[in-house]
Amino acid sequence: MAVAVKTKETSEVQTEQLMTGCEAIAEAIRLADVDVMAAFPIRPYDTVMQAAAKLIANGKLDCEYIVADGEHSQFEIVKHACAVGSRVFVGSSGVGWFYAFEAIAVTAGLRLPVVAICGNRALDDPGAFGTEHNDSLAVRDLGWLLPWAETAQECLDLALMAWRVGEDARVSLPVAIGLDGGFLTHSQQLVSVPTRAATDAFLPKFDLGDRLLHPDNPITIAPQVDQDWLMEIRRQNDAAMRRAIDVITEAHADFKKLFGRGGDSPFLDEYMTDDADVVFFGQGTLALPMKVAIRRLRAEGHKVGLVRLKWFRPFPTDEVVKSLSRFKAVGVVDRDYSFGSPHYGGVLYNEVRSALYSREQRPTIVGFVAGLGGREIDQSMAREIYEKTAAAATGGLSAGDQCHWIGVRE
């Protein structure tokens, strides 16, 4: 439950309140005037559904709130509500996300801008509640836009961005915001909450145009196309994903103008990188312990910084290449695994390597798998990551020693 220890008017367009990442998403749901949402319990994402239910119970949100019989139904319900013109919200975590997988796949195929959160959680078996990014990452090839939040503030901001970008006719793709389970879904932080009027200035009304399923527009959606047309349709999804880069950039600029937040780049958040030789690269709440480590390492004279990825899909290749080419070595920290992948690295590691492959001037890249199952990445682990990356920068690591598991009891 949100404990509003203080509510202060910070400006005409927003107020400040203490809330968790999930509660911040619920505030965004209220501000976006969501029409239909579907809930099903699984930790840790489900506190967003609890917070939204309370908003409805208190008359602050007018929304069809359907408690579904499972995650597959949850995602099907909002998909179909979206097809008749509703702004929708849904979410899940871990194996629940996988239970919905068929519906998740077709939502992207249908180009329906469903907005979801994935409260990132380790997949069973064996059971674990904590953060791992493999649930969200499993949909990386399907046409979902995948931003990752670091703070409760960013949860709210990214949610508003999600409806704006996803519903934009140039994109019309679903969006799933990654929230690290526990660390972000359940941790309270101060959040600036926009006013409804300011939100309306940022977020236009949802309009499906001539794709609306309605008796006045009797279209047939998703007939059997077979080999005759599927490739052209896939190509359209590809084009929409490519256009998303510009649409995100536009939305980010508008957001910054209205609310004064969001940083310089819509895609990357850089911390102490100006003179850095070595940087950490990762996404989500990983940034917090790494920033602490960076301050301590810098106090000892090490030139180290952090580049945090805000959008995994579309992968901002140009921005990533431009940024990382400036450094001698990059330590990519994956809160995920990809068993049997090239060099046995994490997903992010191989994405970054792929992005940089064609560049003549490219940094040494070292991969780290850390913090699985929600294990805390502590300062000794951060230091180990730094030392290995710095050693690679000076040729101290062999080519066959590129990927490391950090903090594992052997």
Which string of x and - marks every residue 104-133 that binds other proteins (by CB under 8 A)? --x---------------------------
Minimum gap (Å) between residue 173 Cβ and other proteins? 18
Q: Does 68 bind other proteins (CB under 8 A)?
A: yes
Q: Does 80 bind other proteins (CB under 8 A)?
A: yes
Question: In the structure encoding, which two tokens stand for residue 352, read together?
Answer: 């970054």
| Residue whose token pair is 């203490």 | 18
Q: Is the peptide bond before 363 cis (omega within 30 degrees of 0)?
A: no
Q: Does 52 bind other proteins (CB under 8 A)?
A: no
Gyration radius (Cα) of the chain, Å? 21
Helical residues (DSSP H) of 260-345, grouped into ranges: 287-299, 317-324
Nearer to other proteins, 223 or 340 (CB): 223
Choosing from 23, 46, 76, 150, the residue that interacts with other proteins (CB under 8 A) is 76
Nearer to other proteins, 144 or 281 (CB): 144
Minimum gap (Å) between residue 89 Cβ and other proteins? 13
Question: In the structure encoding, which two tokens stand for residue 239, read together?
Answer: 């084009």
Minimum gap (Å) between residue 56 Cβ and other proteins? 12
Q: Does 215 bind other proteins (CB under 8 A)?
A: yes
Q: Does 358 bind other proteins (CB under 8 A)?
A: no
Choosing from 24, 25, 36, 356, the residue that interacts with other proteins (CB under 8 A) is 36
Answer left, alpha or beta for residue 94, where phi above 0 means left and psi between -120 and 50 means alpha. Answer: left
Choosing from 35, 132, 319, 351, the residue that interacts with other proteins (CB under 8 A) is 35
Choosing from 60, 170, 196, 214, the residue that interacts with other proteins (CB under 8 A) is 214
Q: Does 59 bind other proteins (CB under 8 A)?
A: no
Q: Does 86 bind other proteins (CB under 8 A)?
A: yes
Q: Does 102 bind other proteins (CB under 8 A)?
A: yes
Q: Which residues have C-beta within 8 Å of that of residue 303, sequence separation ≥ 6?
A: 275, 276, 277, 278
What letters, b where the CB count within 10 A reaches 16 and e where it falls short, cover 22-43?
bbbbbbbbbbbbbbbbbbbebb
Choosing from 1, 3, 57, 225, the residue that interacts with other proteins (CB under 8 A) is 225
Q: What is the DSSP string of 130-150?
A: S--THHHHTTTTTT-BEEB-S
Q: Does 213 bind other proteins (CB under 8 A)?
A: yes
Q: What is the DSSP string of 45-113?
A: TTHHHHHHHHHHHTTS---EEEE-SSHHHHHHHHHHHHHTT--EEEEE-HHHHHHTHHHHHHHHHTT--
Angle between helices 317-324 and 347-356 (to 10 degrees): 80
Nearer to other proteins, 95 or 106 (CB): 106
Choosing from 43, 54, 72, 302, the residue that interacts with other proteins (CB under 8 A) is 72
